[in-house]
Structure 1
Amino acid sequence: MILANYINDLLYRYDCVIVPDFGGFVTNRKGANLNKDTHIFYPPSKQITFNSHLKVSDGLLANYIASAEQISFEKAATAISLSVIKWQNEIQKKPLEIGNIGVLTLNNDGKIIFEPTTNVNYLSESFGLSAVQSPAIQRPKEIVKPLIPVVDKENQKGIPAFIKYAATAAILLTLGFAANNAYQQNQQEEVLAKQEKALEKKIQAATFVISNPLPTIELNVSKKIAKPYHVVAGAFQFAENAKKKVQQLKKQGYNASILGVNKWGLTEVAFNSFADRNDAINNLYRIQKTVSKDAWLLTKK
């Protein structure tokens, strides 16, 4: 079984495909763009990234393999685990190529670096669209001829009389409009000032008396304490699985809750939530030792 082929199929339909105990491949929509240097137009596509923190299985990959291979969910999960072990051993020695998806390598700090391939477009809406190269467009500059003829000072001694009269008339009309507008504005300001003074006199002369005041009511409002620190139990592709996980944890005695949907489209579930960071860290260590080593701390301000 080639695990990369199944991941490749799911990336066309889903925004996130998680490989249990290894990491998740996340896609982000990218609009059409133009390379100004090469004059190549690229269609809309999905940009693939790798997140090594997404290790908790959401069942998507195992369910798809079980359905495609006509095997049980347990056998599909076992096959995934064997492939992951092989990947982890191979990446320690050389770059790991995941089919047509990309290449994974380890840096000096032991962290995984992902380099996606660009020859495959996982956006189904852009199926059949390819990059198009266009030749550079030349835009010649046209010489604009002036509307008013230029007067040659050497050949003509003066400007024609009708041009002088037209310019003088335009200046007089402009000054007339400006003077009229200023006069109307002054008139409006005087009217508004008189109205404001009259309104102030009415307000000063008016008195307001309330004969039967309403009784005051005292309300005791309890202040809700914010709990920004959460011990995360997992992130799920489907909201139904997240709800089942919350019910399971509550039966085990945890104050479990759904934290919402993160930027990868996964629904996060918490064992407990705390207002104090130290309490949250202590609870995290306790859960990692006794319940789940994959639990982690999430801070939401």
Structure 2
Amino acid sequence: MQLETYISDLLYRYDCVTVPGFGAFLTNRVSAKIHESTHTFYPPKKVLSFNEQLQSNDGLIANYIAEVEKIPYNNALNKVSKQVRSIKSYLIEGETIQFENIGELILNSDGKIVFEPSNHINYLTDAFGLSHYSSESITREVYKEKAEKVESVAPIALTPEKRSNTNWLKYAAAAVLVLGLGGYFGYNYYNNSIENHNQIAQEEANAQLDAKVQEATFVISNPLPAATLSLEKQSGNYHIVAGAFRIEANSIKKVNQLKAKGYKARKIGVNRYGLHEVVYSSFETRAEAQRALRKIRREHNRDAWLLIKKLD
């Protein structure tokens, strides 16, 4: 089993991937930046880190392995534990553990795990397809300063051209003024006429509407009572899985059986393998789901497991 492959898959969707008994790989989003000396632009990304203190099993990686390899949850958890024991033995012997596309792990002199992240993959899906690039610095020219220098050396003098026959310009200006005033008063008169016509038409329409309303007014002496429907809609990203079925009819039968026993069972769709998934119930928080899972395993189904999935 290639544990780093499953960790890498989950880092695209989650900010924390815990390997039980070993530690947690964390991601922290950083904004786009520019390197001032090299003029290189870097897109936003997720920066990886490792915390050896977070070793409690949250069910994330074991559930994912169980779903991908189509094995029971406990078997997947045992495979993870076996892999962790092997990794720790290599670290104790002084070897460097290379997780492809994630980073390197090594023990320091104090017996603590030191993590060096890899920069080959950006786990931020929002920045998919973006890569860093370099650009030459832009030299901006200040044309205003150049113009001032030219004018100071060779000032430009403007001499108006003399015209002998300018009487026709006076007549043209007077004609434009008369046409403009006539158009202005004509436009105002037209607008006033339109407004008066619209006001009269609106008053007539309102009077007709009032008459129709008075004719159609009536009172219901015995109105029907209002019907109120109360529908409970399940929500949450934490689901306790009862089973997955190749035939849809079998999944419907399983839902009816669980509902008969008092569970809020339902189908949550088809997984990547074409199986119809049936859950006991869905929950908003991991704590609620874990409590319900322990009770179901104790009272009804030891093979039930927790699925963390955002439904559309």
- If the length of structure 1 is used for normalisation, what is the TM-score? 0.49
RCO comparison, higher one (Cα < 8 Å, 6+) = 1
Question: Normalising by structure 2, what TM-score?
Answer: 0.48
Q: Specify the structure having the higher radius of gyration (Cα).
A: 2
Greater fraction of residues in helix: 2
